[in-house]
A and B are shown apart, each in its own frame.
Chain A
Amino acid sequence: MNKEKHFSRNEQYNVYVESKIPKTKDFPTLIWAFLVGGLICVIGQGISDILMLIVPTMGIEEANTWMLIILIFVASFLTGIGVYDRIGVFAGAGSIVPITGFSNSITSPAIEFKKEGIIFGLCVKMFSVAGPVIVSGLVISFVTGIIYLLF
């Protein structure tokens, strides 16, 4: 009885919280995510094409790796000057899912926690988001390799 009452109060509270949360409009963020994500990919393709024009000996894999390096570096810089987070406010996943979002997720906590010291702030917190990504990626790549080894 008492528990039920408690539960319903919790639910009431949830409804109250729900009504107070600022509503993000779903549809515009979808469009922005599409546009920004697509634009970042187009910029990447442009960099890769220009690199292959400038250095004709460069293979496509090499050009793509350079392209990723340039994108990561630029995104890190944009995070540093505070521009990337402003894009992220309206673009949502459009700024998270491209490789630039990965770079942003490393740089942003590194800057945030610099106050706590270079080693225990910057260097430790740097991997608070990227750590899980790298770990899960490595695990799945290892499992893939083992499966290919067995079959």
Chain B
Amino acid sequence: MDIFLTYLKVFCVGGFICMLGQILIIKTKMTSSRILVLFVCIGAVLEALGLYEPLIDFAKAGAIVPITGFGRSLAKGAIQGLKEMGLLGVFAGGLTATAAGITCAVISAFIFALIFNSKTKKY
């Protein structure tokens, strides 16, 4: 029952964040690129204000998987780097925290782009 409740929270919060994005798309006709940029910035700002950590405690992956979680990692990395290394940490922290994700995305994109060819769109 406890597990079910956790997953329900994950589902609702994750779905809600995506729905906010969809509302933006419908209302403002933003391109997906702008949505991603906007959400990363929102995530980073919320983390800087200390509002994103409670959300992660509440919804776990529901707050980490949306791209706002990426912005959160960037901001968190910079703050942590500052505590550990000072000014140098501000430069290094953001990318250090997100390095695994970015590297994986680039490498898998490179591999699969070599393997697969673009499909002709049927729809």
Contact = CB atoms under 8 A, between A and B. Distances in A.
Interface residues of B, number: 78
B41 A140 contact: yes
> Could you say which interface size class chain A belongs to?
35 or more
B55 interface: no
Q: State the main secondary structure of chain B at its contact with A.
A: helix
Contacts of A59: none
A147 B89 CA distance: 13
Contacts of B41: 136-137, 140
Given A80-B116, A98-B67, A73 B104 contact: yes
B74 A93 contact: no
Contacts, number: 264
Contacts of B22: 29-30, 33-34, 92-94
17 contacts: A26-B26, A35-B15, A38-B10, A40-B65, A41-B15, A41-B61, A42-B61, A76-B109, A77-B112, A93-B35, A94-B18, A97-B18, A129-B33, A133-B67, A141-B78, A141-B93, A147-B48
Interface in B2-27: 6-7, 10-26
A15 interface: no
Given A67-B65, A147-B48, 14 more contacts: A41-B15, A42-B11, A44-B64, A45-B7, A97-B68, A98-B67, A103-B109, A133-B67, A133-B70, A137-B40, A140-B71, A140-B74, A142-B90, A144-B75
Contacts of A100: 65
Contacts of A130: 105
A111 B116 CA distance: 7
B86 to A, nearest CB: 8
B75 A133 contact: no
B10 A37 contact: no
A91 to B, nearest CB: 8
A144 B100 contact: no
A111 B78 CA distance: 33
A97 B6 contact: no
A132 B65 contact: no
A134 B10 CA distance: 26
Interface of A: 26, 29-30, 33-42, 44-46, 48, 64-65, 67-69, 71-73, 76-77, 79-82, 85-86, 89, 92-94, 96-103, 105-107, 110-112, 114-115, 122-123, 126, 129-130, 132-134, 136-138, 140-142, 144-149
